[in-house]
Chain A
Amino acid sequence: MRSVNAIIQELDRIVSHPRVMLEKYLGKGKKVVGCFPIYIPEELVHAGGMIPMGIWGGQVSPAIAGKYSPTFTCSIMRSCMEFGLTGKYQGLSCVLLSVLCDTFRGTSQSWRIGVKDIPIIPFIQPQNRESKAAKEYLIAEYRSVRNRLEEITGCKITDHALSKSIEVYNRHNQTMREFAEVANEHLDVVSAKNRHAVMKSSHFMEKAEHTGIVQELIAGLKALPVCEWKGKKVILTGITAEPNELLDIFTANKIAVVGDDLAQESRQFRTDIPDGDNPMERLTDQWFLRKGCSLVFESHRCRGDMLINQLKENNADGIVVCLMKFCDIEEYEYPIIAQQIEDAGYPTLCIEIDQSTQDNEQSRTKIQSFTEMINDRRP
């Protein structure tokens, strides 16, 4: 059995070098499909015997993406465009994009025009989930995605295979949720950076394979003595919390991450696909169960309540809003949820996430001040 550290190091290597995984799968004769943030029905890809691989940009200062993406659009999508235009995603059979914000609308076009060698399959989940027509619409939309995937890749996606893939994904979700719980017993080992590596690596591995590694990790953690964490605890919310250098600032200030509401992390795993007879309907039903996400319209927004519950359940000291630079969707939510959390008696810290810079000094100062504040608040 490998040590906990060895497993985490492997996952961290995967996160740092996703291209290695792409090459590995291509070398095995697999087709790989790129999945833009945030909610892609990856199970369709998986059921076709292909590898769904997340594309979440990376720390890069775009040199040519500016031809298609204005400077004030979200840095993830600008870096995705940069990588697409410079051949970093070569090898992908196609990419899937769910058009849930204005930058996605624009990127669906920029990609078509600029990245000619990787076809894009855009689609939209319904935002008016209370309409009686929404489910029928989404089933048809997912069918259309399924047909396009089959056309482009030549892979067949059967209902039987889809049912099996759904089980793989549900099992993976459960495993990731278990990891999040177990990790909180071992905050000396599972630092903010390590937690992130485990979460993010899921985007670059076949899910059953990732489930196996995370289960091995959970078993390793359980074998360790429980840690009485002496530092402070926070919950992260936002789209992503990167890069590692930023996460290390939390550790340096003796702050542990005990939960998250990040689109790249727990929002991916918290909603299972419900039971049922028809796999396309099951896949569709998952969309109607999603809650507390800025990209999913709710007539009664519950994100603030969910965060407050997370704070209470994990005995955490505050919320860190990781505000993706130029992500207007999150920027609209920030004042509302921050107020709600503060009204409940918890402090919030807002830091900016920007993939186009390596400079974390502003965040360092803010995190230091926040640490002093929460140290003063509670013994």
Chain B
Amino acid sequence: MSEESKRITQRPVPLSRIMVNEQTAKVYEDALETKKRGERIAWSTAIYVQEICETLGVPVLYPENHSAALAAKHYGEDLIQYAEGNMRYPMNICSYARINFAFADKLKDPNYEWPSPAMPLPDLLLLANNSCVQLTKWYQNLSDTLGVPAFFIDMLYNFTEEKASAYKVKYIRTQIEEAITALEAFIGRKFDWDKFSEIQKRSALNNKLFKEIIALNVHKPAPLNGFDLFNYMAPMVICRGKESTTDILLQLKKEVEENIKNNTSTYPVDQEHRVFWEGIACWPCMRHNLKTLRNLGINAVTNGYVTAWDINYEPTNLDGMAAAYNFASTNSKSTPTVARLRSDLIKKFGCKGMICHVNKSCKVMDFHVFGGRDLIQKYTGVPIVNFDGDQGDSRSYSEAQFETRIQGLAEIMKQNKEGNHA
């Protein structure tokens, strides 16, 4: 179907999106203000035990989120060039890291005109390597070059489908306790265990709400453009333990339910195909992704990435918390586990195809894509296409390849649909 034949429904920006933008802006403003007062702020990996610094009242910023934002606004190209040229980082390492290394280096220059969002330099680093091992090296380099300490919680890759043994959980739990003690001393504030418990409960509530919202997209037509979920991840990444996130999610849930009631959607055209999206968004090329999918009436109703913050544990149970964080990321799970989870979602959401982003910056996820493909096809029978890209470096992405692959998928899904009706 041609682009002209699609009737695009323009809608006002929903209140929930405005609330997300306001919350994000406030997080960065608060960090800047804190820094100006001479107090300490942290940079953190995306799936660190955020409950600790939330309890201590330390503002935390997330370089992965920040790099994604810069990449989406096309500031990434210059920063990547700087990291590779001036700083000698090879182009093979994670593009979020390259953007962040360049940004951090440029921040040392008082005359540097910061791209928005403005992220001040950290006084401490919070490192958990559940998402990948590259994070360990990234933060080790930041710690060396910025001269700030890294509070490290070493997570363990789950290479089988079995639950982590007690001795592994004990290692991680002990590190959480040690991080609390060390941060308490570094920040100079007493750790309030009651507040910690409240933040754990708040985080659990936000997690539950986010899961409920994702699940609402099983409706047909899906009330959300699946790509919206990438944008609504921001509160879960940077403010998972905050009440403002609860407010956003309640508002979003209301809007989604309203869409279901009215049989409307944020997806702007008729939804002819429902697919599953695997992998992180191609932030610098997202507009092209969306346009290509929209032209063919394809809604990627859900994706694996948004489940990465699905961290379930009983508040006050530190062992449970340790085990949950160790299992949180797609990249901490075995390929058969990921294939099973994805297959279940494909069936639950009625997806008729799968699009896999072979993201040059995210090797573990790519191994899942390659190794898990046969398993997912066996479990679900849906056609799967891969395309080459990157979460932050547009050089790895080819518009022509993406279009060709998606057109091919749409053709197969169309034939499958017609075959089923025959």
Q: A68-B370, A338-B88 are in contact. Are A109 and B159 (CB under 8 A)?
A: yes
Are B133 and A329 in touch, CB under 8 angstroms?
yes
Residues on B with beta carbons closer than 8 Å to the beta carbon of A108: 157, 159
Chain B residues numbered 29-73 whose CB sits less than 8 Å from any CB in chain A: none
Complex alpha-carbon distance, A72 and B370, angstroms: 13
Partner of A100, one of B133, B134, B171: B133
Bound-complex Cα distance A18 to B364 (A): 30
With a cutoff of 8 Å between Cβ atoms, the chain B residues found around residue A122 in the complex are: 157, 159
Complex: chain B residue closest to A135, CB-CB: B171
> Interface range on chain A: under 10, 10 to 19, 20 to 34, or 35 or more?
35 or more
- A47-104 residues with Cβ-Cβ distance < 8 A to B are 67-70, 72-73, 99-103
- Contact A335 to B88, CB < 8 A, known contacts A105-B157, A128-B175: yes
**Does A127 sit within 8 A of B, measured CB to CB?**
yes
Question: How far does the alpha carbon of A299 sit from the alpha carbon of B149 in the complex, in Å?
Answer: 8
> Measured between alpha carbons, how far is A56 from B167 in the docked complex, in Å?
31
* CB contact between B171 and one of A109, A131, A325, A338 (< 8 Å): that residue: A131
B367-417 with Cβ < 8 A to chain A: 367-368, 370-371, 374-375
Q: Does B75 lie at the interface of the complex (its beta carbon under 8 Å from any beta carbon of A)?
A: no
Let me know if A299 and B150 touch, CB within 8 A: yes
* B89 CB contact (under 8 Å) in A127, A140, A335: A335
Q: Is B145 an interface residue (CB 8 A)?
A: yes
> Which of B136-144, B244-252, B277-285 forms part of the interface with chain A?
B136-144
- Decide: A110 and B367 in contact? CB cutoff 8 A: yes
Find the A residue at minimum CB distance from B90: A331
> What's the Cα separation between A110 and B335 when bound, in Å?
8
Q: Which residue of the partner chain, among B89, B144, B153, B367, contacts A105 with CB atoms under 8 Å?
A: B367
A134 interfacial by beta-carbon distance below 8 Å: yes
Chain A nearest CB: distance from B83 CB in Å?
9
**Bound form: Cα–Cα A234–B88 in Å:** 21
Which A115-129 residues have C-beta < 8 A from chain B? 122, 124, 126-128
A329 near B92: Cβ-Cβ < 8 Å: no
Given contacts A113-B371, A114-B371, are A297 and B136 in contact (CB under 8 A)? yes
Q: List A contacts of B89 (CB < 8 A).
A: 331-332, 334-335
- Which B residues between 156 and 175 are near A, CB-CB below 8 angstroms? 156-157, 159, 165, 167-168, 170-171, 174-175
A136 to B153, CA, bound (A): 16
Residue numbers in A under 8 Å from B156 (CB-CB): 124
A106 touches B371 (CB 8 A): yes
- Determine whether the beta carbon of A99 is less than 8 Å from that of B363: no
Among B153, B170, B364, max chain A CB count under 10 A is at B364
Of all chain B residues, the one with the shortest Cβ separation from A295 is B133
B48 to chain A, nearest CB (A): 13
B199 on the interface (CB 8 Å rule)? Answer: no
List B residues 70-121 near A (Cβ within 8 Å): 87-90, 92-94, 97
**Interface residue B266 (Cβ < 8 Å from any Cβ of A):** no
Give, as a whole number of angstroms, the nearest-CB distance from A63 to chain B.
Answer: 15
Given contacts A72-B92, A105-B367, A106-B371, contact A332 B170 (CB under 8 A): no
* Pairwise interchain contact B152-A127, C-beta atoms closer than 8 A: yes
Give A203 Cβ to nearest chain B Cβ, in Å. 24
B334 at interface by CB-CB < 8 Å: yes
Asked, given contacts A137-B170, A332-B141, whether A105 binds B133 with beta carbons under 8 Å apart, the answer is: yes
Chain A residues within 8 Å of B364, by CB: 102, 105-106
Contact A134 B134 (CB under 8 A): no
Distance in Å: Cβ of B327 to nearest Cβ of chain A = 14
Residues in B whose Cβ lies below 8 Å from that of A128: 152-154, 175
Query: 1/0 per position for B324-358, CB-CB distance to A under 8 A?
Result: 00000001001110000000000000000000001
Q: How far is the CB of A351 from chain B (nearest CB, A)?
A: 13
* Contact indicator A331/B170 (Cβ below 8 Å): no
In whole angstroms, what is the CA distance A110 to B339 when docked?
13
Chain B residues whose C-beta falls within 8 Å of the C-beta of A137 in the assembled complex: 167-168, 170-171
The answer to whether A70 touches B88, judged by C-beta atoms less than 8 angstroms apart, is no
Q: Are B152's CB and A297's CB within 8 A? A: yes
Known contacts A124-B157, A131-B178, A297-B136, A106 near B87 by CB under 8 Å:
no
- B366 at the A/B interface (Cβ < 8 Å)? yes
**Scoring A residues 318 to 349 as 1 if CB is less than 8 Å from chain B, else 0, what string do you get?**
00000101101101111110110000000000
The reply to whether the CB of B129 lies closer than 8 angstroms to some CB of chain A is: yes
A-chain residues with CB within 8 Å of residue B370 when the two chains form the complex: 67-70, 110
Contacts of B334 in A (CB 8 A): 109, 112
Residues of A near B140 (CB, < 8 A) are 297-298, 301, 332
A328-B363 in contact (CB<8A): yes
A110-B370, A126-B171, A140-B165 known; A328 and B87 CB under 8 Å? no
Residues of A within 8 A of B202 (CB): none
Q: Is A132 an interface residue (CB 8 A)?
A: yes
Nearest CB in chain B: distance from A105 CB, A: 5
B174 cross-chain contacts in A, Cβ below 8 A? 131-133
List, in ascending order, chain A residues with CB within 8 A of B145's CB.
336
| Contacting pair A335 B87 (CB below 8 A) | yes
Known: A131-B178, A134-B171. A109 touches B88 (CB 8 A): no
Task: Please state if B133 and A101 are interface contacts (CB–CB under 8 Å).
Answer: yes
**B171 A323 Cβ-Cβ under 8 A:** no
Output the least CB separation between B221 and chain A (Å): 35
Residues of A within 8 A of B335 (CB): 109-110, 112-113
A132 B154 Cβ-Cβ under 8 A: no
State whether A106 and B93 are in contact (beta carbons under 8 Å apart), knowing that A329-B137, A332-B138, A336-B141 are contacts in the complex: no
Question: Assuming A105-B133, A106-B363, is B170 touching A136 (CB within 8 A)?
Answer: yes
B306 in the interface, Cβ–Cβ < 8 Å?
Answer: no
Q: Which of A102, A112, A132 contacts B132 (CB 8 A)?
A: A102
Residues of A near B171 (CB, < 8 A) are 126, 131, 133-134, 136-137
Query: 8 tightest A-B contacts by CB?
Result: A106-B367, A133-B174, A332-B137, A128-B154, A137-B171, A109-B335, A140-B167, A335-B88
Other than A106-B371, A334-B90, give 14 A-B pairs with Cβ distance below 8 A. Answer: A72-B92, A72-B363, A102-B134, A105-B159, A109-B367, A113-B336, A127-B152, A133-B171, A137-B168, A141-B168, A297-B136, A328-B134, A336-B144, A338-B88
Instruction: Show 14 A/B contacts (Cβ-Cβ < 8 Å), sorted by A.
Output: A69-B367, A70-B366, A105-B133, A106-B363, A112-B336, A113-B374, A128-B153, A130-B152, A131-B178, A325-B92, A328-B134, A332-B93, A332-B137, A335-B88
Which A residues are within 8 Å of any B CB, using their own CB? 67-70, 72-73, 99-103, 105-110, 112-114, 122, 124, 126-128, 130-134, 136-137, 140-141, 144, 294, 297-299, 301, 323, 325-326, 328-329, 331-336, 338-339
